[in-house]
Structure 1
Amino acid sequence: FDVIINPEKGDLEIWRNRIIVEDGTVENPNQQIALSDARKIDKTYEVGEEVAEEIKLADFGRRAVLSLRQNLASRILDLEKANLFNKYTEKVGEIITGEVYQVWKKEILVLDDEENELVMPKAEQIPSDFFRKGDSVKAIVSRVEMRNNTPYIVLSRTAPEFLERLFEMEVPEIFDGLITIKKIVRIPGERAKVAVESYDDRVDPVGACVGMKGSRIYSIVKELRNENIDVVNWTSNSQLLIQRALNPAKISSINLNEETKTAAVYLKPNEVSLAIGKGGLNIRLASMLTGYDIDVYREVEEEDVDLDEFKDEIDEWIINQLKSIGCDTAKSVLELSVEDLAQRTDLEVETVQEVVRILKSEFE
């Protein structure tokens, strides 16, 4: 069959092509025609020739035409669904911009440029997100699945990949591959930590991501409804990474346990609240970023004691000797070795050892 379609007029012609065979030898009436029947069309036809004959749609009858129309419409719809599914499967992890078409309690319906329907569930929205019909919304394609033979396309604004794509849009060095995002952890709408690494020593990864006076990161923070973003310089040194992840807190010391993946972090009392952060967000994100379960401990500071407090145990002339070399507290004496103290004062080694013993017993 040859089907000739005229899109301008909106009509079509159907031509059936059949081979002429001897009378009585027709096996397939759609592919072969008897010689006598062919000569009814044209008397000059011979066996072996091809006959082209137009078939009128009117000959099919109303029921067959309606069935054909429904079948065609159904097939076209199936192809459109498959096309949409394939198109968005390739776009998973990419940012798209759509228009809010409908707002429901558990999700919102978003239309893309081609009026395709996309869904953003409440769980994939930032808690402070508020949308009205007609609003423009930016999100990433999270997943695509088939439900009842219809593509179900889910958008997300809470996925770490959404923040990653926003950085790629705002920071050319990331897009160009000079800076790599090693890891992103988020508590959507509250706080995020982004670990970045530069392959070019001349490029400061943190500075490039933040921009002049925070210009680059400002638009990302705005898009994420004022989510605080900490940009951290990535390192494979676990201790250093934990230290950077707990910024702005200043850490005194860290004890790591590689087997249990735990880290005991010691800080001065006034630094503890900074390390934990508002609602424990800072320490939670630092644990997620580093892969270590972080415990924070206050560092107990021993108070220093003035040497004059030891006059009942140490002779005054010995105390004066120690003061003459700048040691006027117990800790300042204990910081020096016995040999060093004996050398810098006129005291005997035995005397210095006794003094050190007395001072140490004060802190035990």
Structure 2
Amino acid sequence: MENLALIDSFSEFKDDKLIDRVTLMAILEDVFRNALKKKYGSDDNFDIIINPDKGDLEIWRNRIVVADGDVEDPNEQISLTEARKIEDDFEVGEDVSEEVKLSHLGRRSILALRQNLISKIHEHDNTNIYKQFKELEGEIYTAEVHHIRHRAVILLDDEGNEIILPKDRQIPSDFFRKGDNVRGIIESVELKGNKPAILMSRAHPLFLEKLFEQEIPEVFDGLITVKKVVRIPGEKAKVAVDSYDDRIDPVGACVGMKGSRIHGIVRELGNENIDVINYTNNINLFITRALSPAKVTSIKLNEETKRAEVILKPEEVSKAIGRGGHNIRLAGQLTGYEIDVLREGAEEDVELKEFSDEIEDWIIAEFHKIGLDTAKSVLEQEVADLVSRTDLEEETIREVISILKEEFEE
């Protein structure tokens, strides 16, 4: 009965963890053999017969009969007198098989055995979870908010697996309540100790690419290819798409009538502004498209330094740069070129680097970050706008403007 009671508890693990019969038997045998080694010093002469489906467990110790007084190893040898207590016709040299009851192992060993079993099954379970989610890296996954912490949201899927959505992998506008369903990509899976650490991301560019696959049939079917995605999560994104079928308009198919197809993606990403652009190998044309909605007058490329000087009419410059410099930054990431914006009639303008004697280099670099490379490009901006778009103090900006104005007043 004691064997049956223990096996009954093993069956609970089989049902809960969905461990297949062969694996459970292997785990059980391994656990029992460890217990036998501790008790008897060796398990080589033991046979373990397990049938977890029926709840059967038998342990048999095999020993050789030796003459009384000749027992050197009590685990592998048994005296003739002791052997004949089992069956009265044993002779020296014969093999004796004797069943070992769990009670022979001792209460402490049985408790340790059960704890070892739990540990082994959890280890097996964690290994399977790791393998399962490792195959899902880069794929969209949905889980429910279980707990909200300061630096991360803890999610649970339908199987009770824990998934971590760190703060820096969330979209800034994300707001979750317990019980909410959350979509993101499985960004990474690592084994920390014996426990898998599963990280989800909603800020990764791949999340947007996978949303296109989910929401736009032509992308899912391979008729349209997403060539590249760049994002400032929650603010703006640019997606370059292409089609090998000339009859398909990739941008039109992705956006849909009046934005109907892309609307769900935009909503999922916290109203992130998404520009869908036709991909082309013509880099001049690609840069022109990437700077949309600005209209480019001309482009001068430097292939070695991967820089592009883009000439625009003055009224187009702010469109090219975009709010907070987002448009020009993403256009550069999408095309792989560092883009310098110049105005038509630049000969009447002066590059900021010419003022390095009066303006410190790090201040000039702050203006460069938001696409302002010339004196007039700075003077055309509002002071408040420059304060919000750079890391410069208002006083510093006003000093710079004063220096630049003197250049044109002379």
- TM-score, normalised to structure 2's length? 0.67
- What pairs up with 1:148-167 in 2 under 5 angstroms? 148-167=193-212
Q: Between 223-232 and 166-175, report the one with greater CA deviation.
A: 166-175
Task: Work out the CA distance in 2 between the residues paired with 1:161 and 1:49.
Answer: 70
User: In 2, are the aligned partners of 1:20 and 1:51 still within 8 Å (CA)?
Assistant: yes
Q: Which residue of 2 aligns with 1:219?
A: 264
After TM superposition, give the deviation of residue 207 of structure 1 in Å: 1.6
Task: Work out the CA distance in 2 between the residues paired with 1:50 and 1:176.
Answer: 69
After TM superposition, give the deviation of residue 22 of structure 1 in Å: 5.5
User: In 2, are the aligned partners of 1:13 and 1:56 still within 8 Å (CA)?
Assistant: no
User: In 1, are the aligned partners of 2:65 and 2:96 still within 8 Å (CA)?
Assistant: no
Q: Which residue of 2 aligns with 1:67?
A: 112
Q: Evaluate the alpha carbon distance shift between residue 299 and residue 145 of structure 1 in structure 2; reply closer, same or farther with a 3 A threshold.
A: same
Whether 2:16 is the aligned partner of 1:16: answer no
User: In 2, are the aligned partners of 1:97 and 1:112 still within 8 Å (CA)?
Assistant: yes
Q: Evaluate the alpha carbon distance shift between residue 163 and residue 27 of structure 1 in structure 2; reply closer, same or farther with a 3 A threshold.
A: farther
Q: Which residue of 1 aligns with 2:8?
A: none
Q: Which residue of 2 aligns with 1:347?
A: none
- Deviation string for 1:253-289 (max 9, x for gaps)? 1111111111111112222222111221111110110
SS, match of residue 119 in structure 1: strand
Give 5+ residue unaligned stretches, structure 2.
1-46, 348-410
Task: Tell me which of 80, 103, 115 is aligned to 2:148.
Answer: 103
Q: Evaluate the alpha carbon distance shift between residue 249 and residue 6 of structure 1 in structure 2; reply closer, same or farther with a 3 A threshold.
A: closer
Task: Work out the CA distance in 1 between the residues paired with 2:142 and 2:245.
Answer: 33
After TM superposition, give the deviation of residue 185 of structure 1 in Å: 0.3
Count of equivalent residues: 300
Q: Which residue of 1 aligns with 2:7?
A: none
SS, match of residue 216 in structure 1: coil
Task: Tell me which of 276, 281, 286 is aligned to 1:231.
Answer: 276
- Deviation string for 1:309-358 (max 9, x for gaps)? xxxxxxxxxxxxxxxxxxxxxxxxxxxxxxxxxxxxxxxxxxxxxxxxxx
Structure with greater Cα Rg: 1
Task: Tell me which of 121, 125, 130 is aligned to 1:80.
Answer: 125
Task: Tell me which of 114, 117, 122 is aligned to 2:167.
Answer: 122
After TM superposition, give the deviation of residue 84 of structure 1 in Å: 2.0
Give 5+ residue unaligned stretches, structure 1.
303-364
After TM superposition, give the deviation of residue 215 of structure 1 in Å: 2.0
After TM superposition, give the deviation of residue 147 of structure 1 in Å: 3.0
SS, match of residue 173 in structure 2: coil
Q: Which residue of 2 aligns with 1:251?
A: 296
CA root-mean-square deviation: 2.5
User: In 1, are the aligned partners of 2:297 and 2:312 still within 8 Å (CA)?
Assistant: yes
After TM superposition, give the deviation of residue 23 of structure 1 in Å: 4.3
Residue 49 of structure 2 aligns with an amino acid whose one-letter code is V
Whether 2:239 is the aligned partner of 1:194: answer yes
User: In 2, are the aligned partners of 1:95 and 1:165 still within 8 Å (CA)?
Assistant: yes
Q: Which residue of 2 aligns with 1:261?
A: 306
Task: Work out the CA distance in 2 between the residues paired with 1:53 and 1:13.
Answer: 14
Task: Work out the CA distance in 2 between the residues paired with 1:3 and 1:301.
Answer: 89
